[in-house]
Amino acid sequence: MKINDYIRDIPDFPKPGIVFKDITPLLADSKALVYCADRLTSFCPKDIKIDKVIGIESRGFIIGPMIAERLQAGFVPVRKKGKLPYRVKSVKYSLEYGEDTLEIHVDAIKPGEHILIHDDVLATGGTAKAVCDLVQQLGGVVVQCNFIMQLEFLNGNDKLDVPVASLVDY
């Protein structure tokens, strides 16, 4: 199965000159969705028990729990500022157009836990790097980051000091 057959290009979204990679066709096809979760899970190290899978808001919330279930791990959402109800640890990070803040519950990760970070796309790497920083601040160990797709021409992989896996590279 070719996952990129289920990813459509949306020109000029969210602004002119950007080609948005839309995964909603992938999500709408049950066989493609299951295949995607199975393949992403297969990329995980076999010699390290993953304790938690982090899904990054918002598209990381879709397949992240599927990966966690397959790994018999817990699932942890990382959200934008003000969306989590309990005490949080926060990190600010840079975007192409400014700054944003991500948050995680302070008790979501215990020291020494092995963490897999999942999101739909690795672009410039700022978001994934910020989540890696949050995990480390809580004492967790990031084992790997995985993505449905990676926009290699943006060099986001260069910001990450952990193994990176993706199903589709553009």
59 is catalytic: yes
Q: Is 47 buried (19+), middle (13-18) or exposed (0-12) by CB count in 10 A?
A: exposed
Catalytic position from the list 39, 57, 59, 70 = 59
79 is catalytic: no
Catalytic position from the list 39, 70, 79, 96 = 96
Question: What is the rounded distance in angstroms from the CA atom of residue 164 to the CA atom of residue 155?
Answer: 12
> What are the residue ranges spanned by the domains of the chain?
47-169
pLDDT at position 98 is 76
- Residues β-bridged to residue 119: 147
Instruction: Please say whether the beta carbons of 162 and 133 come within 8 A.
Output: no
Question: What is the rounded distance in angstroms from the CA atom of residue 64 to the CA atom of residue 67?
Answer: 5
pLDDT at position 75 is 98
Instruction: Please say whether the beta carbons of 78 and 133 come within 8 A.
Output: no
pLDDT at position 94 is 84
Question: What is the rounded distance in angstroms from the CA atom of residue 170 to the CA atom of residue 168?
Answer: 7
What's the CATH number of domain 47-169, 3.30.470.20, 3.40.50.2000, 3.40.50.2300, 3.40.50.2020? 3.40.50.2020
Average pLDDT value for residue range 130-149: 98
Instruction: Extract the tokens encoding 137.
Output: 């601040």
| Amino acid in the structure at residue 142 | V
Q: Which residue has the tokens 């018999």?
A: 72
pLDDT at residue 102 is higher than 80: yes
Instruction: Please say whether the beta carbons of 57 and 77 come within 8 A.
Output: yes
Q: What is the mean pLDDT of the chain?
A: 96
Sign of CA dihedral 87, 104, 7, 68: negative
pLDDT at residue 97 is higher than 80: no
Q: Is the bond preceding 14 in cis, omega lying within 30 degrees of 0? A: yes
What proportion of the chain, given as a percentage, has pLDDT over 70?
Answer: 99
Q: Which of 90, 148, 158 is nearest to 124 (CA)?
A: 158
| pLDDT tens digits, one per residue of 3-43 | 999 999 999 998 899 899 999 999 999 999 999 999 999 99
pTM of the model: 0.95
**Please, which pLDDT band fits residue 96 given cuts at 50, 70 and 90?**
low
| pLDDT tens digits, one per residue of 52-87 | 999 999 999 999 999 999 999 999 999 999 999 999
Of 16-25, 90-99, 105-114, minimum mean pLDDT range: 90-99
